[in-house]
């Protein structure tokens, strides 16, 4: 029986690959690959040919196996040459909020969700930053013997603190008690909360060697080693979802808190922006000059982008996990947006804010997302076409004009009354809130669409709890039918 083998056309790249494999692969690997290829090729040859007698039978057999042997050598070479290539992130099935909602008590107050989606509401929804905080006597009493980050790491404690303000106020959303700096901790950096100083990093992140070690340690955590420094970053990004496992205590707190909210209001999950986390890690403590981050963005921007890339992917996976744990909205805090001039903000912050939202919405397509570029009024125009559904603005911007601008772009506004309002007498707070909303939205004959009220950077420890009650009541009263 005649057997014709298809010709093998070795392109230059294939020839080079085969040659590299033969030069660099261990002999045992080549032999094993050849044996495997030989077995595969022989299985494809008809029996009468395999048993054909004579010298030409054996020669023909070897000729038939030669292409397979070359291919096997190429495989070995490919494994050697491309071994450092990072695995592609595992594609996950998109999950809808309805699927997650089915696991929890029905929602009785969906005002903030309706507002962010542009649906009609019967009152302006409101919540405030740091609504669970030191201005509440019950917070101070409950936390007096609990170190700050231990409160974040204990789901029962975090749940209790998240729910405390609901015992006093008719709030339209809760935000899980946590801190944006749990991500640097999850990446292996040490962070301490020191009384009178705030967050402190005992070891400031200043050099490439420090970051390479962080990457190596992260890869070791997921069982990966031996990757050259230049290629580590892609491997870390590919394992971002596994690295986010280190924050399981936050996910547990979210699930517990949403269950105990019992549908009273939606629960917000959050993270800090990559740029903001980078600033904290590099400056290591409070600063007015931001000297070190300024030096780095101008002297080694490639290194800065490398760090921001990792942080963005971990932030995205962290937020995705929060959604799956029960968070019904997400907010990204770009708390250090004001450190950068507009041009540099577009280079070092905006792309990573965008990346986070794109990654989150790819897996959780209908989750509402808010971004807060603190004290950076220039950012508003660059966020009108972003993947975020709403922009949280600070008191440096005009509420009415900002709302109109974003509404025209199909997005909403959250904010933005100045926290200084809360130092007025309680009766005056009501008056100030009403005037502020009237200046922005008119006489209250219509409730503004796509608007959530909030209070600048939130509650300070020396504010009167009664004033927050007046603030919330005045917000709710505006525009309600008498």
List the Cα angle 279/284/287 in 5-degree steps: 75
pLDDT reported for residue 118: 97
Q: What is the band of 3 on the pLDDT scale with cuts at 50, 70, 90?
A: very low
Q: What is the band of 92 on the pLDDT scale with cuts at 50, 70, 90?
A: low
pLDDT reported for residue 352: 98
Residues 224, 227, 231, 236, Cα dihedral to 10°:
20
**Contact of 376 with 341, CB cutoff 8 Å:** no
Least confident of 35-39, 109-113, 447-451: 35-39
Quick one: how far is CA 1 from the chain centroid? 64
The model's pLDDT over 151-180, given as tens digits with 9 standing for 90+, comes to: 999 999 999 999 999 999 999 999 999 999
Mean pLDDT of 379-386: 96
Residue 304 has pLDDT above 80, yes or no: yes
Residue 477 has pLDDT above 80, yes or no: yes
Q: What is the band of 58 on the pLDDT scale with cuts at 50, 70, 90?
A: very low
Alpha helix (H) ranges present in 187-300?
Answer: 208-221, 229-238, 240-243, 248-261, 274-283, 291-299
Quick one: how far is CA 375 from the chain centroid? 21
* Longest CA–CA separation in the chain, Å: 109
Q: What percent of the chain is modeled with pLDDT above 90?
A: 78
What burial class does residue 142 get, using C-beta atoms within 10 Å of its C-beta: 0-12 exposed, 13-18 middle, 19+ buried? middle
Mean pLDDT of 394-399: 94
Residue 89 has pLDDT above 60, yes or no: no
Mean pLDDT of 266-294: 98
Domain boundaries, the chain: 97-477
- Six-digit token pair at 64? 């038939």
Mean pLDDT of the chain: 87
Strands (E), 92-249: 174-175, 192-194, 198-200
Q: What is the band of 273 on the pLDDT scale with cuts at 50, 70, 90?
A: very high
- Six-digit token pair at 113? 């969700």
Q: What is the band of 20 on the pLDDT scale with cuts at 50, 70, 90?
A: very low
**Contact of 391 with 116, CB cutoff 8 Å:** no
Pairing of strands 390-392, 174-175: unpaired
Q: What is the band of 88 on the pLDDT scale with cuts at 50, 70, 90?
A: low
pLDDT reported for residue 21: 43
pLDDT reported for residue 38: 45
Which residues are CB-contacts of 11 (< 8 A; sequence separation ≥ 6)? none
Least confident of 25-39, 121-135, 199-213, 399-413: 25-39
Q: Select the highest-mean-pLDDT range: 53-67, 68-82, 353-367.
A: 353-367
pLDDT reported for residue 479: 83
Residue 15 has pLDDT above 70, yes or no: no
The model's pLDDT over 459-468, given as tens digits with 9 standing for 90+, comes to: 999 999 999 9
**Contact of 343 with 297, CB cutoff 8 Å:** no
Which residues are CB-contacts of 259 (< 8 A; sequence separation ≥ 6)? 104, 105, 326
Q: What is the band of 85 on the pLDDT scale with cuts at 50, 70, 90?
A: low
**Contact of 318 with 311, CB cutoff 8 Å:** no
DSSP one-letter string for 347-361: HHTHHHHHHHHHHHH
Q: Which of 266, 359, 286 has the alpha carbon at shortest distance from 317? A: 359
Residue 12 has pLDDT above 50, yes or no: no
The matching CATH number, chosen from 3.40.605.10, 3.90.230.10, 3.20.20.210, 3.10.350.10, for 97-477 is: 3.20.20.210
Q: What is the band of 444 on the pLDDT scale with cuts at 50, 70, 90?
A: confident
* β partners of residue 390: 370, 412
Q: What is the band of 54 on the pLDDT scale with cuts at 50, 70, 90?
A: very low
């Amino acid at each position: 029986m005649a057997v014709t083998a298809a010709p093998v056309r070795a392109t230059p790249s294939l020839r080079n690959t085969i040659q590299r494999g033969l030069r660099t692969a261990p002999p045992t690997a080549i032999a094993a690959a050849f044996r495997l290829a030989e077995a595969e090729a022989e299985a494809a040859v008809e029996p009468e040919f395999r048993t054909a007698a004579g010298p030409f039978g054996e020669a023909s057999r070897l000729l038939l196996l030669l292409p397979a042997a070359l291919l096997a050598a190429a495989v070995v070479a490919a494994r050697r040459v491309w071994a450092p290539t990072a695995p592609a992130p595992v594609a996950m099935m998109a999950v809808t909020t309805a699927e997650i909602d089915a696991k929890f008590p029905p929602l009785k107050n969906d005002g903030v969700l309706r507002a962010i989606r542009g649906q009609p509401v019967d009152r302006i929804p409101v919540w405030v930053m740091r609504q669970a905080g030191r201005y509440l006597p019950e917070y101070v009493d409950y936390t007096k013997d609990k170190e700050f980050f231990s409160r974040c790491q204990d789901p029962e404690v975090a749940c209790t603190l998240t729910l405390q303000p609901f015992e006093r106020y008719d709030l339209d959303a809760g935000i899980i008690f946590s801190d944006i700096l749990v991500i640097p901790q999850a990446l292996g950096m040490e962070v301490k909360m020191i009384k009178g100083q705030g967050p402190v990093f005992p070891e400031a992140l200043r050099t490439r060697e420090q970051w390479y070690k962080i990457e190596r340690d992260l890869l070791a955590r997921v069982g990966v080693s031996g990757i050259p420094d230049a290629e580590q970053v892609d491997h870390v990004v590919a394992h971002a979802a596994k690295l986010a496992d280190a924050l399981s205590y936050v996910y547990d707190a979210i699930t517990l808190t949403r269950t105990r909210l019992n549908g009273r209001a939606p629960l917000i999950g959050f993270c800090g922006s990559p740029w903001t986390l980078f600033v904290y890690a590099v400056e290591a403590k409070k600063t007015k000059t931001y000297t070190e981050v300024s030096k780095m963005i101008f002297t080694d921007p490639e290194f800065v982008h490398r760090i921001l890339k990792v942080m963005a992917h971990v932030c995205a996976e962290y937020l995705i996990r929060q959604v799956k744990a029960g968070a019904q909205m997400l907010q990204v805090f770009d708390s250090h947006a004001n450190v950068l001039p507009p041009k540099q903000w577009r280079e070092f912050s905006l792309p990573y804010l965008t990346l986070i939202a794109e990654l989150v919405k790819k897996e959780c397509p209908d989750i509402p997302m808010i971004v807060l570029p603190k004290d950076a009024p220039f950012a508003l125009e660059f966020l009108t076409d972003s993947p975020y559904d709403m922009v949280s603005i600070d008191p440096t911007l005009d509420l009415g004009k900002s709302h109109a601008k974003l509404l025209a772009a199909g997005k909403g506004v959250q904010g933005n009354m100045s926290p200084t309002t809360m130092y007025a007498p309680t009766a005056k707070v009501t008056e100030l809130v009403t005037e502020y909303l009237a200046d922005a939205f008119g006489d209250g004959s219509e409730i503004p669409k796509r608007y959530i009220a909030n209070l600048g950077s939130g509650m300070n420890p020396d504010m009167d709890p009664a004033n927050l009650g007046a603030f919330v009541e005045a917000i709710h009263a505006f525009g309600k039918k008498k």
